[in-house]
Amino acid sequence: MSIDILTFGCRLNAFESEVMRGHAEAAGLADTIIVNTCAVTAEAERQARQSVRRAHRANPAARIIVTGCAAQIDPLSWSRLEGVTRVIGNVEKLTPAAWTAPEAIQVADIMQVRQTAAHLIEGFGTRARAFIEVQQGCDHRCTFCIIPYGRGPSRSIPMGAIADQIRTLITNGYHEIVLTGVDLTSYGTDLPGTPRLGQLIRRLLAAIPELPRLRLSSIDPAEIDPDLWHVIEHEPRLMPHLHLSVQAGSDMILKRMKRRHRRHHVIEATARARALRPGIAFGADLIAGFPTEDEPMFNDTLRLIDEAGLDYLHVFPYSARKLTPAARIPALPMAERRARAATLRAAGARRAAARFQSMIGSTVIALAEAPTTGHAENFAPVRFTRAVAPGSLITGRVIGADATTITLDAA
């Protein structure tokens, strides 16, 4: 039996791909290719469509099943691609019944979903780091974002189920767990007692002392709750690396994006975290060339990289998404968007290179993700001086650095 899964997009998709693998195997599907799509940009959709066409050319007899956010939003267009035998929605893909049902299109109205079931998985194939879904969906409507239409309303996994999943993964040899969600800082608003994300982390770390490393995926800089500030300061097992959903550094653009934060929130959050946890690193998502962004507005975003100390950047040229309010505003020329994205990436690369140089002589503990590569606690990419066991935690001294990597003496 052959089941290949092509995963696009976020860490939540990576988790859900493993859930689907289990359901597809239990259903006895043979010679099947599952394409788990992303809809965050037009480029993400293009790459997924290209992968479907490529997979069909390479294996015309294979069953191709398309799922994920892009499939949820526009199932009919995906069903028309040559070789696609089934399209499954984002809720249905996580249910065993969907993998044995005869319908060619199984996509319900995700906006009516109010609960998310917990799913227990054993591992992530060759990945050394494990991702766990703790939250799903989003109740906010940023003007550029199509994802709520693919994921539905915000809903959370109860703490007990999350703890059970973590214990299973630790038993199976994982040393680092990443908590993932669509809107992670909205965790718990739908649960009894409305626990916040910080309370979840405090309780998980207290209940599972054998967990060596816990990491967070993207969070909103204006919604870090008091308990989360506490664990940032006092809990070394929470990795000193926060990825912030920033998007822009201009207050006017942030307002037009309908974001929950403003420029000063990003600067204040990074300064506070740095004071509580010296050496903490920050990643950020940035959109270049949002409609109406002029040169001064763009420069506000460019300056924010240094003012907030953003080290690892995910930069995207603005991509108009059908159904979103921003898509109705005249867009900047794509060449301008790409040029601004390149400028932001270059600024981020300079900051990252400087951070790597500053780590020379320090001692770090790195998670080995391959025999000679991994990531440090602050998510700096690591190159080991000798081959090590993937999945292990390696303590060593940083003996060198270049623009993209630190070198760890693993002797």
With a cut of 90, say whether residue 210 has pLDDT above it.
yes
The Cα-based distances of 95 to 27, 90, 170, 282 in angstroms read 11, 10, 25, 36
Q: What is the mean pLDDT of residues 312-337?
A: 95
Q: How confident is the model at residue 120 (pLDDT cuts 50, 70, 90)?
A: low
Contact present, 4 and 33 (Cβ < 8 Å): yes
With a cut of 70, say whether residue 124 has pLDDT above it.
no
- Whole-number pLDDT of residue 126: 62
With a cut of 90, say whether residue 89 has pLDDT above it.
yes
Neighbours of 352 (CB within 10 A): 21
- Whole-number pLDDT of residue 383: 97
Average pLDDT score, the chain: 93
The pLDDT tens digits for 211-265 are 999 999 999 999 999 999 999 999 999 999 999 999 999 999 999 999 999 999 9
Q: Specify the amino acid at residue 353.
A: A
Listed in sequence order, the residues at least 6 apart from 156 whose beta carbon sits closer than 8 Å to its beta carbon are: 116, 134, 135, 136, 187, 188, 189, 190, 191
**Percent of the chain at pLDDT exceeding 90:** 82
- Whole-number pLDDT of residue 303: 98
Q: What is the mean pLDDT of residues 382-389?
A: 96
- Whole-number pLDDT of residue 114: 75
| Whole-angstrom distance, CA of residue 141 vs CA of residue 98 | 29
Backbone angles phi, psi at 70, to 5 degrees: -65, -40
Q: How remote is the C-alpha of 375 from its chain's centroid?
A: 16
Q: What is the mean pLDDT of residues 21-40?
A: 90
Contact present, 324 and 146 (Cβ < 8 Å): yes
With a cut of 90, say whether residue 10 has pLDDT above it.
no
- Whole-number pLDDT of residue 318: 97
Q: Is the dihedral of CA 96, 101, 107, 113 positive or negative?
A: negative
Q: Does 118 or 277 have the greater pLDDT score? A: 277
The pLDDT tens digits for 147-180 are 999 999 999 999 999 999 999 999 999 999 999 9
- Whole-number pLDDT of residue 123: 61
With a cut of 70, say whether residue 1 has pLDDT above it.
no
- Whole-number pLDDT of residue 15: 85
pTM: 0.91
- Whole-number pLDDT of residue 121: 65
Q: How confident is the model at residue 25 (pLDDT cuts 50, 70, 90)?
A: confident
Contact present, 131 and 62 (Cβ < 8 Å): no
Q: What is the mean pLDDT of residues 105-116?
A: 84
